[in-house]
Amino acid sequence: MNSKELRRGGHFLVHHPGPDQVFIREDFGEEQRMMFQAAADFMKSEVEPHLQRFEQGDYGLVEDLLHKAGNLGLLGLSVPEEFGGMGMGFNVSMLICEEISSMTGSLATAFGAHTGIGTLPIQYYGSQAIKDRFLAKIASGEWISCYNLTEPGAGSDANSGKTMAVLSSDGQHYEITGQKIWISNAGFAQVFIVFARIEDDKNISCFVFHKDDVQGLTMNAEEHKMGIKSSSTRQVFYDKVRVPADSMLGQRGDGFKIAVNVLNAGRIKLAAATNGAAFKVIGLMSRYANERQQFGKNIGEFGAIQEKIARCTALVYATDAALYRAGDAIERLQNALLAEGKSEAEAKLKGLEEFAVECAILKVYGSEVMALVADEGVQVYGGMGYSADAPMEAAYRDARISRIYEGTNEINRMLIVDMMLRKALKGHVDLLGPARKVAAELMEIPDFGSEEPTGFLAPETKILMQLKKANLLVAGAAVQHYGTALVDEQEALMRLADMAMEVYVLESDLLKTQRLSARLSDQENEIRGILGTLQAHHAAEKCLSAGREVIMGLPENDEQRMMLMGLRRFTKTPSVNLKNLRRKVAQYVLDKGKYPF
């Protein structure tokens, strides 16, 4: 694969990088690892001792932790050095986000809202004067920021907001009036980023102000939520809030673009957050299984518990691989664009936009893996899992929001397919040619081994390549049948997204393990290889069931029957004793008493 192809996002169905072309968390250098360790020390000394307080609506604790994190420089990692930040790359900011988000969703949400959607609109779209005024104080945590987009009638359909911004007759100010809802950090934020419509513009605009500079801003009390109990979440009311005309971020009508672009970063970082939480929950689960005795044995000795631990571990390992692969792809493109002379903001935004498909995939996959991990965590704890005195109950409630915020998983699934098809239509990625080839292959005698993968994880790589074909087959059939009406076939879009996600995540998993193999012992390679086998079988099953649903939604005819046969062929897996493999993985995790990779 040449360097041009490495700069493209959303083309993983038709391009196949090698293990030397991806980044894995083990590639982080000493400095980055030291930063991670500092974040881990911070969590251990400042967060872990107070875990119960997060369940009691202790907003002051979260506010205090944000200030402390700011003192350590943890809030300004990707803010440029000239604005008081560290100027670090995107991927290390994910690594820190992972650790800060690992113990409680309350802090994860506050941290994400501040460093992501609360910082990036200013960093990428603010004028020099705005950046000079706000960025350093946001990076240091002296000021906390909140992002006011959602309205009672404008959630997923964010561009439909009713909040208005009216230009004063002298052209010096805008007066903002409207209602915002679910605003994270609102209770203690100084900086407000708000989206409002000017006149009857098609797209909303974006403004930033300091709370003390305005009048007419009021808030409701804290919302009562299912989880993330100490993340401040309020409704914010704007009654003719006057802001200077030059406090606009970007140009008039840029608001929706800003919202969409910073959400790309928010989505993949949410996957970093759930990754960190999943590591911790697997650790808790395995230690509990090592201690809890029933029928005279540790429950970790029972197959029913072991398979839960193994299943969760395999999925988390794969997600982790995809996470840092995508984060690196973004960072590499950003750096390349900077080197070509693009501005900081342009380069950063373009990097995120190009890999928007991967960002959405990680958001959905990460949050759903976390949902399973939290659920199984509760189950392994049994009755104690349901008790608020043990940590699983909070983990379970906190995990639930991840499938909703930063764009619901349904919206993100539609985006995944929509963006991939757009890339194909624009000619950025050739999906149609390969799709036709796959359709033609159906008419031929099955291909016996002309391009068989070889080496470590060869059978799994073969499954991966076949799954790519299954994706092209099903997506091609859906596009051909529905045409532009595919956008209204949401059920099909959900499943096409599922298939694409499985391919990206499985490929990342296998590439990671292949990349690492030379650095590890035989035993470590064996376990990681098993994780790849488990993930390959999982992906094949998912692709089969999702693909079947899409094809069965098409007209019943010979073509449909042929496609179903083709799908079965492309999702076929060799017979493997998955039970024994899961037992091995579980034993390894239980021996270590933590997520061991």
Partner 1 sequence: MNILVCLSQVPDTTTKIAFSADNKSLNKTGVQYIINPYDELALTKALELNEATGGGTVTVIHVGGADAEPVLRKALAIGADQAVRIEAEPLDSRQVAAELAAYIQGQSYDLVLTGRESIDYNCGLVGGMLSQYLDWPLVNVATSIDPAGQAGVLAVSRDMDGGREKVEVSLPAVITCQKELTEPRIPNMRGIMAARSKPLQVVSPQGIGPDLSLLSHALPPARQACRYFEADQMDALVEALRQQAKVL
Q: Tell me the catalytic residues.
A: 406
For residue 383, give Cα distances in angstroms to 302, 389, 394: 17, 11, 14
Among 52, 71, 172, 490, indicate the residue that binds partner 1 (CB under 8 A): 71
- Quick one: which segment of 68-76, 389-397, 441-449, 531-539 binds partner 1 (CB under 8 A)? 68-76
Among 14, 24, 77, 273, indicate the residue that binds partner 1 (CB under 8 A): 77
- Quick one: which segment of 72-80, 165-173, 428-436, 571-579 binds partner 1 (CB under 8 A)? 72-80
Question: Is the torsion defined by CA of 75, 77, 79, 81 positive or negative?
Answer: positive
111 binds partner 1 (CB under 8 A): no
For residue 214, give Cα distances in angstroms to 192, 218, 261, 293, 584: 11, 11, 27, 60, 61
Within 8 A by CB and 6+ apart from 90, the residues are: 78, 265, 327, 330, 331, 334, 348, 351
Among 484, 521, 557, 580, indicate the residue that binds partner 1 (CB under 8 A): 521
Least distance between partner 1 and beta carbon 35 (Å): 6
If one counts every other C-beta atom within 10 angstroms of the C-beta of residue 575, the result is 5
The H or E element that residue 177 is part of is: strand 173-184
Phi/psi at 210 (5° precision): -95, 135
Least distance between partner 1 and beta carbon 76 (Å): 8
| DSSP-assigned beta bridge partners for residue 234 | 183
Q: 486-497: b or e for each residue (b if 16 or more CB lie within 10 Å)?
A: beebeebbbbbb
Torsion of CA 98, 99, 103, 104, to 10 degrees: -50
Task: Report the residue number, 68 or 242, with the smaller CB distance to partner 1.
Answer: 68
Among 6, 53, 72, 244, indicate the residue that binds partner 1 (CB under 8 A): 72
425 binds partner 1 (CB under 8 A): no
107 binds partner 1 (CB under 8 A): no
Helices (H) and strands (E) in the chain, counts: 19, 10
Least distance between partner 1 and beta carbon 34 (Å): 5
526 binds partner 1 (CB under 8 A): no
86 binds partner 1 (CB under 8 A): yes
Strands (E), 4-134: none
- Alpha-carbon Rg of the chain, whole angstroms? 24
Task: Report the residue number, 80 or 385, with the smaller CB distance to partner 1.
Answer: 80
Task: Report the residue number, 4 or 519, with the smaller CB distance to partner 1.
Answer: 519
Least distance between partner 1 and beta carbon 69 (Å): 10
Task: Report the residue number, 169 or 521, with the smaller CB distance to partner 1.
Answer: 521
Torsion of CA 375, 381, 384, 388, to 10 degrees: -40
| DSSP-assigned beta bridge partners for residue 164 | 177, 197
Angle value at C-alpha 168, between 162 and 169, nearest 5 degrees: 135
73 binds partner 1 (CB under 8 A): yes
Which residues, 37 to 66, sit near partner 1 by CB under 8 A?
38, 41-42, 45
Task: Report the residue number, 77 or 531, with the smaller CB distance to partner 1.
Answer: 77
Task: Report the residue number, 40 or 442, with the smaller CB distance to partner 1.
Answer: 40
For residue 573, give Cα distances in angstroms to 7, 204, 454, 460, 467: 32, 49, 16, 9, 10
For the chain, the residue count is 597
- Quick one: which segment of 67-75, 207-215, 421-429, 544-552 binds partner 1 (CB under 8 A)? 67-75
Number of residues interacting with partner 1: please give it, by CB under 8 A.
Answer: 17
d(Cα 477, Cα 458) in Å, to the nearest integer?
29
- Quick one: which segment of 6-14, 70-78, 145-153, 282-290 binds partner 1 (CB under 8 A)? 70-78
| CA 458 to mean position of chain CA atoms | 28
- Quick one: which segment of 69-77, 184-192, 245-253, 486-494 binds partner 1 (CB under 8 A)? 69-77
Least distance between partner 1 and beta carbon 30 (Å): 6
Least distance between partner 1 and beta carbon 294 (Å): 18
Among 9, 76, 141, 250, indicate the residue that binds partner 1 (CB under 8 A): 76
Fill in the amino acid letter for 474. V
Which residues, 318 to 357, sit near partner 1 by CB under 8 A?
none
82 binds partner 1 (CB under 8 A): no
Largest CA distance in the chain: 81
Which residues, 13 to 42, sit near partner 1 by CB under 8 A?
30-31, 34-35, 38, 41-42
Task: Report the residue number, 38 or 562, with the smaller CB distance to partner 1.
Answer: 38
Q: 76-87: b or e for each residue (b if 16 or more CB lie within 10 Å)?
A: bbbbbeebbbbe
Task: Report the residue number, 74 or 470, with the smaller CB distance to partner 1.
Answer: 74
527 binds partner 1 (CB under 8 A): no
Task: Report the residue number, 441 or 524, with the smaller CB distance to partner 1.
Answer: 524
136 binds partner 1 (CB under 8 A): no
Which residues bind to partner 1, rule: CB under 8 A?
Answer: 30-31, 34-35, 38, 41-42, 45, 71-74, 76-77, 86, 88, 521
